[in-house]
Every structure is written in C-alpha cells, then in structure tokens.
A and B are shown apart, each in its own frame.
Chain A
Amino acid sequence: MDTVCITHWVNIPVRHQALFQGRDLDACAEDHDLFALPGPAIADPGVELGLRTEPVYQVLLDVTQFRPEEILIQVFEGWLLIRAQHGARMDEHGSVSRSFIRQYPLPEKLQLAGDLRALLCHDGILVVESKNRRPVGTPSDAEEEPC
C-alpha cells in the first residue's frame, strides 16, 4: 500500500487515508462520517460506513471559527436551535469575539432530540441529521427541505 506524504519542511503522513482509498474523492465530499471528529454520534452503531444511504433530514453549518465546547445544539418545540459563542480571543489582526444563533424548523416526524444526531467534522462543518436513513435516490413521502 503506497501512502501519500506531504513534504513541507517535515514529512506529514496523511491521516485516515485508508478510509479514502479506492474511492472517488468527489463522492466522499458528502460522506460526513469520513471527516467527523470522535464523539457520541460516531459510536452510534446504527450507521455503517460505506453504505450508500442518506438521512431523511440534514442541516449543514460552517462553524470553522468555533470550538466544539462553544457550540450548543438544542431541540425546542419543533425547532432546531444551534448557538455558538466565543469570547474575545487574539488573532492576527487583534482580538475578536463572535456569537450566532441559528434556528431551523424541524419536520413533523422529527420533533425529538433523540431522532437526531450531530457530527462535527475536522474541516469545520457541523452536521445535524436524522438517525433514520433511506437509500440514495429514493424520494421520500415526506420530503422536507430546510428552506
């Protein structure tokens, strides 16, 4: 098995390379489990890697600027609330603090927090999706897009 190495002053081995091997990289972009940081959703045995299924409901959010402990996900009366807040921290141009709250309406069938799982990917994308999945391509009877 030949492994890719990036040479940048020192050799950096490519991590988690086995997961990507022999797969079309374009198709990997939507497989969030490949990028997810370890957490309770990963330990969930209900999801197998490599199976071509997609969740019934999914929300993607860019949280590059925030740490995992600064993000709060709540389900409240049919709404999915995602809050993220960080206090003043130094960066290259001075100091910055940010906060935001996002609300998404949940579909009728997914009103409980137990129906959802959340992944935080190491490239800064937060994924909140339903636990029940359907094979790719099948139109669901209750198609509810977050819009």
Chain B
Amino acid sequence: MMADRAVPHAYPMSTRYELNTPSRIYDQNFGEALTPQDLLTPTLYHGYYVRPRITKQLGRGFSEVETESGQWRVRLDVCQFTPDEITVRTVDNLLEVIGNHAQRQDGHGFVSRSFTRTYVLPVGVDPLLLHTDLSHNGILCVSGPRTTPDPPSTHTLTIHTHTQD
C-alpha cells in the first residue's frame, strides 16, 4: 500500500513536486496491536481482498502538509507519544520530528517505539520562524510564514525620440 521510492518524484523545492504530492497521507501510527474485533468485512482493493481496521477508520494517524500562499503548515498525528517524547528540530532546510518512547505497557503487552520523520521546507520558509504546537488529542502542528519572492522592481524607461532636422 505504501510504496517506498528511492528518490522523490521531482526536485523537492519545485512547483511540480508540490503539485504531485498529496497533502494528506495516512497510516502513520505504527506498531498497533489488534484484536479480532478490530478487523472488518474484507473489501476489494486493487484486486485483493483486504480487511479494513477500526483503528484506521477514525481519521487518525495522518500526516498533512499545507502550503498556502502566506503560510506553510505541517500536521502530524503523534498520539502514540507524550509531549516529552517528541523532539522537533530543523537541520538546514529540513524539519525533523523525532519520537521515542521507552517500553510501556498497553492493553496487549509491552511496547517501545521510535520514529524519525523529515519534511523538506519549501522555498520562502524561514526555519527560525517556525512555531510548534501539540494539541490535547496528540496532533503536532508546525507552522511558519512563507514569503513569496518579491516581484522584480520594474522601472519603465522613457523613450526619447529625436526628430530629424
């Protein structure tokens, strides 16, 4: 379902890349234990019967990138981690979200998880102006202003005509 590619579709900072990239992707929660009751009736998906999961029907586990004209915003569902287990940092024009939680008990057993996700900042987003929020339902939101490049200053030259005497 989630095909991995060795190279991105296009150069990450081009318009073509932004147009070809879906703004919202799912399946970002990982290491989830299931019970038989979580499996729903099989449905056809690309010629195979697959079983939808209740845990994936709630609109959770998404990653969303929004590039508006004046603002760039990333929202990532990190509900499997607590705020002190999340690190957000920028490296050059990359935004890194690192989550790491030690072994803890849940309804099925013990689990420990870690992930690193890297976003590429588009042209015009200053890494120093980014602002990070974590909402109470576990959605991390990183946003920053995006400046459009100034239109080139124009200066119209007057045309002097010389009449021939």
Listed in ascending order, the chain A residues whose CB lies under 8 Å from chain B are: 4, 6, 8, 12-16, 20, 25-26, 28-30, 34-35, 58-66, 84, 88-105, 121-125, 146-147
Bound Cα distance from A28 to B35, whole angstroms: 15
* Contact of B35 with A60 in the complex, beta carbons under 8 Å: yes
Q: For residue A122, which residues in chain B have a CB less than 8 angstroms away from its CB?
A: 48, 50
* Contact of B30 with A20 in the complex, beta carbons under 8 Å: no
Contact of A6 among B7, B44, B107, B117 (CB under 8 A): B44
Q: For residue B25, which residues in chain A have a CB less than 8 angstroms away from its CB?
A: 91-93
* Contact of B33 with A102 in the complex, beta carbons under 8 Å: yes
Contact of B1 among A26, A60, A64 (CB under 8 A): A64
Task: Given the known inter-chain contacts A28-B49, A100-B111, A125-B51, please indicate yes or no for A62 contacting B34, CB distance below 8 A.
Answer: yes
Contact of B40 among A29, A102, A104, A105 (CB under 8 A): A29
Contact of B34 among A90, A100, A125 (CB under 8 A): A125
Listed in ascending order, the chain B residues whose CB lies under 8 Å from chain A are: 1-2, 4-8, 21-22, 25, 27, 30-36, 38-42, 44-51, 53, 55, 63, 65, 94, 103, 107-120
Bound Cα distance from A121 to B39, whole angstroms: 13
* Contact of B6 with A61 in the complex, beta carbons under 8 Å: no
For this complex, 22 residue pairs linking A to B, each with C-beta atoms less than 8 Å apart, are A12-B46, A14-B47, A20-B49, A29-B36, A61-B33, A62-B55, A65-B27, A84-B31, A89-B5, A91-B4, A91-B5, A94-B94, A94-B117, A94-B120, A98-B113, A103-B103, A103-B111, A121-B51, A122-B48, A123-B48, A123-B50, A125-B51
Contact of B4 among A90, A100, A125 (CB under 8 A): A90
Q: For residue A60, which residues in chain B have a CB less than 8 angstroms away from its CB?
A: 33-36, 38-39
Question: What's the nearest-Cβ distance from chain B to residue A20, in Å?
Answer: 6
Q: For residue A91, which residues in chain B have a CB less than 8 angstroms away from its CB?
A: 2, 4-5, 25
Question: What's the nearest-Cβ distance from chain A to residue B120, in Å?
Answer: 6
* Contact of B51 with A29 in the complex, beta carbons under 8 Å: yes
For residue A17, which residue of chain B has the nearest CB? B49
Task: Given the known inter-chain contacts A94-B118, A104-B108, please indicate yes or no for A6 contacting B46, CB distance below 8 A.
Answer: yes
Per CB-CB distance, the 6 closest pairs between chain A and chain B, nearest first, are A100-B31, A123-B50, A60-B34, A104-B109, A12-B47, A103-B110
Bound Cα distance from A91 to B35, whole angstroms: 28
